[in-house]
A and B are shown apart, each in its own frame.
Chain A
Amino acid sequence: MTTIDLGMPAEGPIADAIARSIDSHGEKQTALKAKDLKTDQEVRWCPGCGDYVILNAVQSFLPSLGIAREDMVIVSGIGCSSRFPYYMNTYGMHSIHGRAPAIATGLAASRPDLSVWVVTGDGDALSIGGNHLIHTLRRNVNLKILLFNNRIYGLTKGQYSPTSEVGKVTKSTPMGSLDHPFNPVSLALGADATFVGRAMDSDRKGLTEVLHQAAEHQGTALVEIYQNCNIFNDGAFDLLKDPATGVQWSIPLEHGKPLVFGPDGASCVVRDEFGGLRIAETNQVAADEIVVHDATREDPSYAFALSRLSSQDLRYTPMGVFRSVQKPTYDRMMADQVEEARTSSSADLDALLTGSDTWTVSA
């Protein structure tokens, strides 16, 4: 079990309320089991939805962080995935479409003592909420964003989404969609996100590993989770899930390990002549030409090049942590400014209201 340092304690009436709750409940309970995180609410996703697997994985993994459940907050937007908070026995807000990162920013920036998570989907995060997502990433607010990407609008019953492949035939695009999709990892790296990972809903081990690294990251972490919508876009990720093809087309990312993949490690990643990356056959290149994965590179262009290896049909999809670099977090810097202001000037309300130019009228 790791214990995540949540940083500065709260103060004022907020600290008093927390102290009162400790008085009546005893010290914070950080030794949790998955069942402690379940609520009494009936889970209402469609049977067979990938969201169930993710919920279970999250409930199983969170106790390992050593954070009391009252110190966790899950904020979501609108969409199937955004029902997530109702099923988590933490604090939670199921907000409005696309705005979860902005709401979570206000919460995390004013309460650096909390572990704040955003659960969102491809439509919520990348379409209506695209602006909030990129700005949250560039600010590096201490938030963990789980982006469930099913490449479809499920809750509105099956329109194409900003991650749907070109030509997707849906209810709103009977002749095929015309939009070129976003690659969420590329987008996040373009916004200079300090942590970007990708995992598969059904891969419990891989998902847990990425989530763990995201949780330990100080700053905004974006985790794209490929999630199957068995009603409106069933089998969208089968190419990667099917044991026969998955090995061939997934590129597992492990920090410090050469990027070799495919059956018997037949394929690998090497540099191309323009400073990007390309796929090569392992037996056709020298061992030292194979790129060794380094998630800590300051310059995001390497991680970006990795993200561009995959095509719309999911061939050559890197899975794992693309980038994990340290930068000061927004909430910490904001708290530091408050601290600095307090050191250099006193909070004297009388003096503030009085200002510098006054006159007195005597009786």
Chain B
Amino acid sequence: MTTTDPSVGTSTAGSSAPGGLVKSVVELDRVVIRLAGDSGDGMQLTGNRFTSETASFGNDLSTLPNFPAEIRAPTGTLPGVSSFQLHFADHDIMTPGDAPDVLVAMNPAALKANLSDLPGGGLLIIDADEFTPRNLAKVGYATNPLEDGSLEGWQTVSVQLTTLTLEALADSGLGKKEAERSKNMFTLGLLSWMYHRPTEGTVRFLERQFRRKPEIAAANIAAFRAGYNYGETTEAFAVSYEIKPAPMAPGRYRNISGNQALALGIVAAGQRSGLPVFLGAYPITPASDILHELSRHKAFGVRTFQAEDEIAGVASAIGASFGGALGVTTTSGPGVSLKSEAIGLAVMTELPLVVVDVQRGGPSTGLPTKTEQSDLLQAMFGRNGEAPVPVVAPRSPADCFDAAIEAARIALTYRTPVLLLSDGYLANGAEPWAIPDTEELPDLRVEFATEPNATTPDGTPEFQPYLRDPETLARPWAIPGTAGMQHRIGGLEKADKTGNISYDPANHDLMTRLRQAKVDGIAASIPPTDVDDPDGPDGEKARVAVIGWGSTYGPIGAACRRIRRSGRSVAQIHLRHLNPMPADLGEVLRRYDRVICPEMNLGQLSLLLRAKYLVDVESHTQVRGLPFRAAELAAVVQDVIDSTTGGAQ
């Protein structure tokens, strides 16, 4: 049982605030807060700070930043609304929440864009100062919703956030415009009071962030404290909420976003392989943060190269791999389109390469800041010729770390480009991460070839660059600088073993099949299909399975929990390896009467599964630029279960 209405809960204690106000404390098991404002209002920063406070308090959490592609759309307009949703709980959660319990609207545009998502009775906190006739007119409000009764269905608390911030900073020496900018910190202070968040981290953060502008640091801290104290003293908020820390496995945790985890995974892969990392990248939303993060880690031998274009990004990484580095390129879907030919070159030259695609809405420029899973088929097939490429997808922000290491493992072991499919939701979303013991990370060391591996007909030792390892079918990796191993590789078809140019029909047939067999053979090194299939309360077996890949793991998992709570059985199957798929997947799928595949595309994985396994996978799709809502997904799956089993069990 979860509480969606923060006004409903267990009142556990009363606290006496200064001024004699007695405020009650209500205990909740979970809350979803959405902060919405203008792109210039600092909602992402506020959200991230609240997240950090929440993480250090020990709640489980999941976040969903949602912002426009424009850096600053016209102030106060609907296209300029930026929001940040945070779900935190005293138990293990899987999604950023379907709908907010609390909506903070910093202006009329933010209210208009988000109100329909706030369920009736939800808490609405509004900056009344921004509800001016001009701002209301900008978004088409004929009357002021604060006055016309249209907000009656919600618990609306209208606060003069701007005025209060200015009052708090009256002595700061800052001008009005500058002082106003701190209203997000006032809001953060207020929310920190409401949800009993620790505040030291934010104070430290502000001091660090503005260490070169101490007056700005002081103003922000003052606004933050003023917001906190306002909550404690005002009569507008009679209740504060407590969400106990979530029980988590023992260990040390930090909060981490997907892009950050992915970047650290690449650094770790470099360290565990002993190889220098070379990142060739061209800035693109939502992948650029990986480039930013990696550029800070030169001490680990990471070289980052901001290339002139996407093609040079991947090409330089291939060049670096030829020289013995772990070559990496990071991009989003449009960049993968541009890199396709070069990825084909890496397939042909059989060099290690990690291609990170942080997927976003497409086609073309599409929705740069919104999430989608629509590059799966591009990753699988988006090259000329038979050009098989392994595909790996992380399932949560923190999992981006392990997925990056796995992509590097496959690339280095099998000498192949690997596509790592993250997405916008994973990239910007955050969650607690149990910091791994570095000694227990996979050992990725490789052996460069330094000795001849064959002999010519006259008995002279020679190096054959395409003589394969019988087990992995990987070719030897001999790097420039190694005497006696000189060889030439390239995009033209290779003769088996020698790697010389060959136009021989039988050889091309053989090499095409060898490249495919090498990628197919990776299945031998990956774990069996990840199936979560608990028996029902009376031991009944699930007849319906839901299969997903990538970031739908959270929403599907949350939907399955709901379904199980309703007494029904359902299995969740999740794929990390999309190519090759786990060896037992066909057998697993055939265990179920029905298999549903929810995807943020028009059915790409289901197409693959149907083609590969001849299983009647039912596709359920959505391309709204946002993750699935667990409740909606649960309803869809529940209908399938009920029609399969003839009613609720």
Give residues of chain A (76-111) contacting chain B, Cβ–Cβ below 8 Å: 78, 85-86, 88-96, 99, 102-111
User: A114 and B480: CB pair below 8 A?
Assistant: yes
Evaluate whether A13 and B253 lie within 8 angstroms (CB atoms) in the complex, with A102-B315, A105-B305 already known. no
In the bound assembly, the distance between CA atoms of A117 and B28 in angstroms comes to 66
Q: Mark A32-61, 1 if CB is under 8 A from B, else 0.
A: 000000010100000000000000000000
Q: Does A178 contact B (CB under 8 A)?
A: no
Give chain A residues whose Cβ lies under 8 Å from the Cβ of B479. 14, 17
Evaluate whether A352 and B267 lie within 8 angstroms (CB atoms) in the complex, with A13-B448, A102-B316 already known. yes
Q: Identify which of B362-370, B484-492, B524-532, B550-558 touches chain A.
A: B484-492
User: B323 and A114: CB pair below 8 A?
Assistant: yes
Q: Does A18 contact B (CB under 8 A)?
A: yes
User: A94 and B489: CB pair below 8 A?
Assistant: yes
Query: How many A-B residue contacts, CB cutoff 8 Å?
Result: 254
User: A70 and B482: CB pair below 8 A?
Assistant: yes
Give A92 Cβ to nearest chain B Cβ, in Å.
4
Q: Does A311 contact B (CB under 8 A)?
A: no
Give chain B residues whose Cβ lies under 8 Å from the Cβ of A73. 322-323, 480
Give A17 Cβ to nearest chain B Cβ, in Å.
4
User: B308 and A95: CB pair below 8 A?
Assistant: no
User: B327 and A13: CB pair below 8 A?
Assistant: no
Q: Does B248 contact A (CB under 8 A)?
A: yes
Q: Identify which of A198-206, A258-266, A274-282, A342-350 touches chain B.
A: A342-350
Give chain A residues whose Cβ lies under 8 Å from the Cβ of B249. 361
Q: Does B156 contact A (CB under 8 A)?
A: no
User: A338 and B271: CB pair below 8 A?
Assistant: no
Q: Mark B431-449, 1 if CB is under 8 A from A, else 0.
A: 0000110100000011011
User: B487 and A109: CB pair below 8 A?
Assistant: no
Contact of A70 among B299, B319, B481, B490 (CB under 8 A): B481
Q: Which residue from chain A places its CB closest to the CB of B261 in the assembled complex?
A: A353
Q: Does A287 contact B (CB under 8 A)?
A: no
In the bound assembly, the distance between CA atoms of A18 and B57 in angstroms comes to 51
Total interface residues on B, using CB and 8 Å?
81
Give A26 Cβ to nearest chain B Cβ, in Å.
8
Evaluate whether A21 and B485 lie within 8 angstroms (CB atoms) in the complex, with A103-B319, A334-B303 already known. yes
Contact of A106 among B201, B318, B486 (CB under 8 A): B318
Q: Does A283 contact B (CB under 8 A)?
A: no
User: B299 and A347: CB pair below 8 A?
Assistant: yes
In the bound assembly, the distance between CA atoms of A108 and B315 in angstroms comes to 12
User: A104 and B490: CB pair below 8 A?
Assistant: no
In the bound assembly, the distance between CA atoms of A22 and B485 in angstroms comes to 12
Give A197 Cβ to nearest chain B Cβ, in Å.
24
Evaluate whether A71 and B480 lie within 8 angstroms (CB atoms) in the complex, with A13-B446, A105-B319, A359-B58 already known. yes
Give residues of chain A (316-345) contacting chain B, Cβ–Cβ below 8 Å: 334, 337-338, 340-342, 344-345
Give residues of chain A (129-149) contacting chain B, Cβ–Cβ below 8 Å: 131-132, 135
Give B61 Cβ to nearest chain A Cβ, in Å.
12
Q: Mark B296-336, 1 if CB is under 8 A from A, else 0.
A: 01111101010111011001111111111101000000000
User: A106 and B305: CB pair below 8 A?
Assistant: yes
Give chain B residues whose Cβ lies under 8 Å from the Cβ of A111. 320, 323-325, 480-481
Q: Which residue from chain A places its CB closest to the CB of B327 in the assembled complex?
A: A106
Give chain A residues whose Cβ lies under 8 Å from the Cβ of B341. 96
Give chain A residues whose Cβ lies under 8 Å from the Cβ of B256. 355
User: B56 and A359: CB pair below 8 A?
Assistant: yes
User: A354 and B311: CB pair below 8 A?
Assistant: no
User: B482 and A104: CB pair below 8 A?
Assistant: no
Total interface residues on A, using CB and 8 Å?
75
Contact of B345 among A92, A96, A350, A352 (CB under 8 A): A96
Q: Does A157 contact B (CB under 8 A)?
A: no
Evaluate whether A93 and B489 lie within 8 angstroms (CB atoms) in the complex, with A17-B450, A18-B482 already known. yes
Q: Does B342 contact A (CB under 8 A)?
A: yes
User: B438 and A70: CB pair below 8 A?
Assistant: no
User: A92 and B435: CB pair below 8 A?
Assistant: no
In the bound assembly, the distance between CA atoms of A113 and B298 in angstroms comes to 19
Most chain A C-beta atoms within 10 Å of own C-beta, residue among B307, B312, B327, B501: B312
User: B438 and A350: CB pair below 8 A?
Assistant: yes
Q: Does A68 contact B (CB under 8 A)?
A: yes
In the bound assembly, the distance between CA atoms of A70 and B480 in angstroms comes to 6
Give chain A residues whose Cβ lies under 8 Å from the Cβ of B319. 75, 93, 102-108, 110
Q: Which residue from chain A places its CB closest to the CB of B432 in the assembled complex?
A: A359
Give chain B residues whose Cβ lies under 8 Å from the Cβ of A14. 275-276, 323-324, 448, 479, 481
Q: Which residue from chain B places its CB closest to the CB of A92 in the assembled complex?
A: B488
Contact of A338 among B57, B303, B481, B483 (CB under 8 A): B303
Give chain B residues whose Cβ lies under 8 Å from the Cβ of A70. 480-486
Give chain A residues whose Cβ lies under 8 Å from the Cβ of B484. 21, 24-25, 70
Give chain B residues whose Cβ lies under 8 Å from the Cβ of A151. none
In the bound assembly, the distance between CA atoms of A24 and B249 in angstroms comes to 52
User: B251 and A17: CB pair below 8 A?
Assistant: no
Give chain B residues whose Cβ lies under 8 Å from the Cβ of A359. 55-58, 252-254
Q: Does B385 contact A (CB under 8 A)?
A: no
In the bound assembly, the distance between CA atoms of A235 and B268 in angstroms comes to 57
Give chain A residues whose Cβ lies under 8 Å from the Cβ of B217. none
Give chain A residues whose Cβ lies under 8 Å from the Cβ of B300. 347, 349, 352
User: A103 and B485: CB pair below 8 A?
Assistant: no
User: A103 and B253: CB pair below 8 A?
Assistant: no
Give chain A residues whose Cβ lies under 8 Å from the Cβ of B303. 109-110, 334, 338
Q: Does B255 contact A (CB under 8 A)?
A: yes
User: B342 and A99: CB pair below 8 A?
Assistant: yes
Evaluate whether A347 and B301 lie within 8 angstroms (CB atoms) in the complex, with A18-B481, A132-B308 already known. yes
Evaluate whether A114 and B481 lie within 8 angstroms (CB atoms) in the complex, with A24-B450, A334-B303, A350-B438 already known. yes
Give chain B residues whose Cβ lies under 8 Å from the Cβ of A341. 297-299
Q: Which residue from chain B places its CB closest to the CB of A97 in the assembled complex?
A: B341
In the bound assembly, the distance between CA atoms of A12 and B481 in angstroms comes to 13
User: A10 and B275: CB pair below 8 A?
Assistant: no
Give chain B residues whose Cβ lies under 8 Å from the Cβ of A338. 298-299, 301, 303
In the bound assembly, the distance between CA atoms of A341 and B297 in angstroms comes to 8
Give chain A residues whose Cβ lies under 8 Å from the Cβ of B501. 41, 86
Give chain B residues whose Cβ lies under 8 Å from the Cβ of A68. 483
User: A109 and B316: CB pair below 8 A?
Assistant: yes
Q: Which residue from chain A places its CB closest to the CB of B249 in the assembled complex?
A: A361
User: B323 and A107: CB pair below 8 A?
Assistant: yes
19 contacts between A and B (CB under 8 A): A13-B445, A13-B446, A21-B450, A73-B322, A93-B488, A96-B341, A96-B491, A99-B342, A102-B319, A105-B315, A107-B323, A108-B319, A132-B315, A338-B301, A347-B300, A350-B438, A352-B267, A353-B438, A357-B56
The interface of chain B, by Cβ under 8 A from chain A, is 52, 55-58, 201, 245, 247-256, 264, 267-268, 271, 273-276, 278, 280, 297-301, 303, 305, 307-309, 311-312, 315-325, 327, 341-342, 344-345, 349, 435-436, 438, 445-446, 448-451, 479-492, 500-501
The interface of chain A, by Cβ under 8 A from chain B, is 10-14, 16-18, 20-22, 24-25, 28-29, 39, 41, 68-73, 75, 78, 85-86, 88-96, 99, 102-111, 113-114, 131-132, 135, 334, 337-338, 340-342, 344-347, 349-350, 352-355, 357-363
For the A-B complex with A21-B482, A24-B484, A94-B488 known, give 7 more contacts whose Cβ atoms are closer than 8 Å.
Answer: A29-B483, A41-B500, A70-B481, A96-B345, A103-B315, A353-B438, A359-B253
Shortest 3 CB-CB distances between A and B: which pairs? A94-B490, A106-B316, A106-B319
